[in-house]
Amino acid sequence: MSVSFTVPRRYCGPPHSANGGWVSGHLARHVPTSTALPAVSVRLLAPPPLDRAMRVRPVADRAAEAADRAVEAAGGVIEVADGATPVLRAHAVVALSTADVPGPVPYAAAVAAGAAYPGLHDHPFPTCFVCGTARQPGDALMLRPGPVDGHELYAAAWVPTEPAEELVWAALDCPGAWALGVGGRPMVLGTMAAQVLQPPAVGEEHVVVAWPRGGQGRKHFSGTALYTADGALLAHAEATWIEVDPATVRPAS
């Protein structure tokens, strides 16, 4: 298998590279899952470029495959390469645990939480397709994850306007970073594993909840979940974020 893989500029995170959640969901489309391995794990190896044709290919290096995760991979490991440079790597994994997934938050509470969205005052990547404050309605998700009163978690209201699976991964991405305090310490997505149980309905109200799951050094861990307005769990994810030097964060051009 070797197919073309391009990230349109619309789906940026930082101004010159792709949003991690969207690009992970785009690659997840190429990963065969099964009843035994229903989730997909994606690792970002380099900033994914925009508007440049890359290639999806199987990973032939067994050592590299084993290093990705000790799992019985269905269909093996695939990667996206920019020329000779590996950019993303993905494979199917066992079902993600729901043991620490919080219950749903009412849609009205998620809307109210958006008023306290920290990114309105301090955003490391204002061009971000998911949560950027420099984007326009209709061109981006424009999620506003904010703290929920009386709970140790963040929530964002979302009404999907497109059915693409990449948007589910994208919506599960950035709220996790905000729950970790990305405004005060810029981070980029390192790995993301997600399980989509059911796609969201276009035009219907949904809520994304996010919570911190600890950290180690420059690595920080988050959980996210997507619910319908009436509380049905549609998808959930676990992510590892890498803290970066604020001086390396480039402003939008």
Averaged pLDDT, 120-132? 94
Averaged pLDDT, 171-187? 91
Instruction: Quote the Cα angle for 168-162-234, to 5°.
Output: 35
Q: Answer yes or no: do 67 and 142 share one domain.
A: no
Q: Answer yes or no: do 88 and 121 share one domain.
A: no
Confidence of residue 65 (pLDDT cuts 50, 70, 90): very low
pLDDT of 173 above 80: yes
In percent, the amount of the chain with pLDDT more than 70 equals 90
pLDDT of 67 above 50: no
Domain contains 15? yes
The predicted pLDDT at position 246 comes to 66
Going across the sheet that includes 39-44, the strands are 3-5, 54-58, 78-82, 85-93, 39-44, 187-196, 233-243, 219-228, 206-216, 154-158, 146-147
Domain contains 209? yes
Residues 6+ apart with CB under 8 A from 161: 138, 202, 203
For 7-38, write each residue's pLDDT tens digit: 999 999 999 999 999 999 999 999 999 999 99
pLDDT of 220 above 80: yes
The predicted pLDDT at position 172 comes to 98
Averaged pLDDT, 185-194? 92
Domain contains 50? yes
Domain that holds residue 131: 107-248
CATH code for the domain of 9? 3.10.129
pLDDT of 113 above 80: yes
Averaged pLDDT, 85-114? 96
Domain contains 102? no
